[in-house]
A and B are shown apart, each in its own frame.
Chain A
């Protein structure tokens, strides 16, 4: 299971990459593997406010529909346009092409955990 050390995580299986006060958000390799082939992704729109640990969208796969939880609070400034027509990139490249949204954070994130801590979450 790929868990890049330079990223931060939340135990609801989203990852975050901080670029200044911008947070890039996606789902982990573990999450995409558990979901199986992703068929549809529903994300917030640019301008929407997301809140830490609150629902921000959903992912549907051949197995299940799962809620997405925002790891940070702030305003959505960009949404990955590729996910609308090519949801399969979530399976093939969850940490790169499969990023979901960019958020201009409005508060210091408080629930993020390290790659090692996330490793413990998924092996529990």
Chain B
């Protein structure tokens, strides 16, 4: 009985949905998600999750389907220093650096804090963005000339 209750509770909980690397497909580009350092996810208020293989796919999808913002509960990105770990995009930082190629060609890598992103920037160079800054300037980022 307790088990059943627990199962029901678990199935109703709304939070990050684990990504099955090697079998889940990106909601935007249909590629199988392989790289556990770059995945991203939108969790809807219904508990359903859209999974993405890269930050750029999530941002492009948000652009294609602007209404998703109203339905979304969480926007998640992967912390590059902790592969497989999804963190809240809003509190994370993103590095745009030619040194770190992300799966969909935009060179965007997520970090859990400004400090962590700065440390990576010191090693790899490039420009650093908070989540809101990234959304604001994404259209101007070039695929060919990452800093």
A and B held together in a complex: no
* Residues in chain A within 8 A of chain B (CB atoms): none
* Residues in chain B within 8 A of chain A (CB atoms): none
